[in-house]
Amino acid sequence: MNRRDFFMTSAAIGAGAALASVGKVSAIDMATVAENVKKAKLRFACYWGGLFPAENDADRIKKMRELGFEGIELSGDGGGVKDKKQMFIDEGFEVCSLCFGSVGGAVVSEDPSRRQGGIDALKRALENAAYFGAKAVVYVPAFNGQTKLGHVEIRKILMDTLPALGEFAVECGTHITLEPLNRTEAWFLRQVADGAQIARDCKTEGVATMGDFYHMAWEEPSDMGAFISGGDRIKHVHLGNGPQPPRRTLPGEDDRPFADGFLGLKFIGYDGFCSFECGVAAPDKFEAVRRSIAYCRSEWEKATF
């Protein structure tokens, strides 16, 4: 065990002991953690149509398979590509998530007349998630400038709104997955723990959260700690480098480490998808993604107790 492994192991065991001692998440003990580590998987997804060029759908599918992708993330509410569902199934891919966004911050707008439209749009996305079998509808309450309300008011609206929407998500077999962003994009909801607590306060399994390594590089003092805080509320992960130029590139294209966060994902037994949500710095994008996947796999292996 080298010095880095020693510290990572010590930190993980310490975190486990701390969690058990405060009784906050009583289901977690070290035996559970050991089971979680066995259960955890690194499964890759990416935006349909993104990351690297392809001549057509068949070429994209072929390249995604060659690279080892298993999942597909759809943009918006996914309604524009409903006709591709059977192709995704036939080719063995799982639609893991809809990157829904914020609907202009409508749900938490200072103008109450806008909120119902946002709720309706979110419900349509949840129905589309049910159609595709996607487990996560990635939702941002508001980007900066999309609402004039403050944090206390936004949180109250979410508490008034999300529990019922969360129950609707349960019926749809999916999750409203709150995405914490960095402060340049949203001051409200920047940390994974905050997303997890909002989800827990909603008292429905239909509200969840996620971690995006890009945003986490800005906002989280510990990637591992963030995912442990999220616990079983983590239903999705986005991969991308941090803010240093060229920002938000592929994992491995700069020196942003991933093993620490992956250790957190192992700790909680995460076996959902890690979806690339980033640009590509290298000119040959396809080969760059291949290298990045190899890098992520090596970071996953490095994340040991």
Span 121-180, contacts to Mg ion by CB under 5 A: none
Q: Which is nearer to Mg ion, 135 or 238 (CB)?
A: 238
**Residue that is written with structure tokens 């991969």 in the block:** 239
CB of 185 to Mg ion, least distance (A): 9
Q: Which of 270, 305, 283 is nearest to 36 (CA)?
A: 270
Q: Which is nearer to Mg ion, 147 or 182 (CB)?
A: 182
Among 77, 194, 212, 223, binds Mg ion (CB under 5 A): 212
Q: Which of 1, 33, 2, 4 is nearest to 227 (CA)?
A: 33
CB of 197 to Mg ion, least distance (A): 19
Q: Which of 222, 219, 223, 233 is nearest to 269 (CA)?
A: 233
Q: Which is nearer to Mg ion, 33 or 74 (CB)?
A: 74
Among 94, 253, 277, 299, binds Mg ion (CB under 5 A): 277
CB of 248 to Mg ion, least distance (A): 9
Candidates 78-86, 117-125, 233-241, 297-305 — which segment interacts with Mg ion by CB under 5 A?
A: 233-241
Taken in order 127, 129, 133, 137, the sign of the CA dihedral is negative
CB of 181 to Mg ion, least distance (A): 7
Does the protein bind Mg ion through residue 223 (CB under 5 A)? no
Site size with Mg ion, rule: CB under 5 A: 3
Question: Rounded to an integer, what distance in angstroms lies between the CA atom of residue 216 and that of residue 182?
Answer: 7
CB of 58 to Mg ion, least distance (A): 28
Among 60, 235, 238, 256, binds Mg ion (CB under 5 A): 238
Query: Quick one: how far is CA 101 from the chain centroid?
Result: 13
Omega of the bond prior to 246 within 30 degrees of 0, cis?
Answer: yes
Which residues here bind Mg ion, judged by CB under 5 A? 212, 238, 277
